[in-house]
């Protein structure tokens, strides 16, 4: 059970968790991302997402901003099935959430999730969009599946919440862009496993990615080509870029 709506989150000091972090599973992330720790907290399996190990400048700017955004989003979607349950804040650049009983989506070479997984994932996205929240980064590491084939969506650091403030209209264009990315990302993952099961709408969406997705793919392609060896760039897929 999550905390009742409107209840303030417990605040935990980083030093209070130090004894619990000794010997626990730790996954270090890239320089601009938070570290992840799996631990027991309050009698349950939990996950600590924390920027404490980053440089002072990164921790006090990007770390605080991203943590504050994700905590706010997780509080807003508290009670929605299929998303992490936030448990407590940890300092100014970390937070604890319940560990989900799920694993990242398999790769195309691995056994696929059941077809109903994608229907349930679509319903999960609709629930979030109805609350005015779009994820914006729906890809394999952020979409998880449990033993019963149920979907879970994680990592809301880049999510957008429209809200109801006087300036909410400024967020609506970005929310719509991210919601379109959510729909496209899910269809693209489904097509990897069940291309023959796409509906007409899904097939159209797959063939017409949002313009900002096409732009991002183009930038990624050019970046990879710029790092390729000269011979490979001339003879490989980058030759006609």
Is it the case that residue 33 has pLDDT exceeding 60?
yes
Q: Can you spell out the DSSP letters for 157-203?
A: TT-EE--SSTTGGGTHHHHHHHHHHHHHHHHHHHHHH-GGG--HHHH
- Four-CA torsion 222, 226, 230, 233, nearest 10 degrees: -10
CA distance 178 to 142: 15
Looking at the structure, tell me whether residues 92 and 109 fall in a common domain. Answer: no
* pLDDT value of position 88: 95
| Average pLDDT score, the chain | 87
* pLDDT value of position 2: 47
Looking at the structure, tell me whether residues 110 and 181 fall in a common domain. Answer: yes
Looking at the structure, tell me whether residues 79 and 143 fall in a common domain. Answer: no
Residue 213 domain flag: yes
* pLDDT value of position 213: 84
* pLDDT value of position 118: 97
Residue 198 belongs to domain with CATH number: 1.10.510.10
* CB contact burial 24-43 (16+ within 10 A = b; e otherwise): eeeeeeeeebbbebebebee
- Which pLDDT tens digit goes with each residue over 145-169? 999 999 999 999 999 998 766 667 7
Domain total in the chain: 2
Is it the case that residue 241 has pLDDT exceeding 90?
no
Question: Are 84 and 6 a contacting pair, CB within 8 Å?
Answer: no
- Which pLDDT tens digit goes with each residue over 14-31? 888 888 887 676 776 666
Closest C-alpha among 228, 175, 184 to residue 210? 184
Largest CA distance in the chain: 60
Which residue among 69, 98, 127 closes a domain? 98
| Residue 234's pLDDT band (cuts 50, 70, 90) | low
Mean pLDDT, residues 67-75:
94
Residue 60 domain flag: yes
Domain that holds residue 114: 103-218
Which residue among 48, 80, 98 closes a domain? 98
The sign of the torsion formed by the CA atoms of 51, 33, 60, 93 equals: negative
* pLDDT value of position 229: 58
* Stretch among 35-49, 102-116, 164-178 having the lowest mean pLDDT: 164-178
Looking at the structure, tell me whether residues 110 and 163 fall in a common domain. Answer: yes
Looking at the structure, tell me whether residues 69 and 129 fall in a common domain. Answer: no
- % of the chain at pLDDT higher than 90: 62
Looking at the structure, tell me whether residues 212 and 107 fall in a common domain. Answer: yes
Residue 2 domain flag: no
Residue 29 domain flag: yes
Looking at the structure, tell me whether residues 140 and 183 fall in a common domain. Answer: yes
Residue 90 belongs to domain with CATH number: 3.30.200.20
Mean pLDDT, residues 66-91:
94
CA distance 35 to 50: 5
Which residue among 81, 98, 115 closes a domain? 98
Residue 229 domain flag: no
CA distance 64 to 163: 20
Residue 210 domain flag: yes
Looking at the structure, tell me whether residues 180 and 150 fall in a common domain. Answer: yes
Looking at the structure, tell me whether residues 119 and 210 fall in a common domain. Answer: yes
- Which pLDDT tens digit goes with each residue over 169-220? 788 999 999 999 999 999 999 999 999 999 999 999 999 998 888 887 888 7
* pLDDT value of position 212: 80
* pLDDT value of position 169: 79
Looking at the structure, tell me whether residues 170 and 201 fall in a common domain. Answer: yes
Residue 93 domain flag: yes
């Amino acid at each position: 059970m999550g905390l009742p709506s409107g209840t303030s989150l417990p605040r935990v000091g980083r030093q209070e968790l130090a004894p619990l972090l000794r010997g626990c599973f730790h996954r270090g992330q890239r320089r601009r991302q938070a570290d992840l720790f799996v631990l027991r907290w309050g009698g349950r399996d939990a996950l600590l997402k924390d920027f404490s190990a980053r440089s002072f400048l990164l921790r006090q700017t990007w770390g605080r901003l991203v943590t504050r955004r994700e905590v706010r989003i997780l509080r807003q979607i508290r009670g929605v099935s299929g998303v992490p349950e936030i448990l407590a804040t940890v300092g100014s650049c970390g937070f604890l959430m319940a560990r989900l009983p799920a694993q990242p989506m398999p790769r195309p070479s691995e056994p696929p999730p059941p077809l109903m997984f994608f229907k349930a994932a679509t319903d999960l996205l609709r629930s979030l969009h109805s609350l005015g929240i779009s994820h914006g980064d729906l890809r394999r590491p952020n979409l998880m599946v449990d033993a019963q084939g149920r979907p879970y969506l994680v990592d809301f650091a880049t999510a957008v919440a429209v809200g109801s403030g006087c300036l909410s209209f400024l967020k609506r264009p970005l929310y719509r862009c991210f919601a379109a990315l959510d729909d496209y990302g899910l269809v693209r993952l489904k097509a990897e496993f069940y291309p023959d099961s796409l509906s007409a709408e899904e097939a159209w969406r797959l063939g017409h990615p949002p313009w900002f997705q096409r732009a991002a793919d183009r930038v990624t392609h050019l970046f990879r080509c710029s790092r390729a060896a000269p011979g490979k760039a001339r003879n490989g897929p980058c030759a006609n870029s």
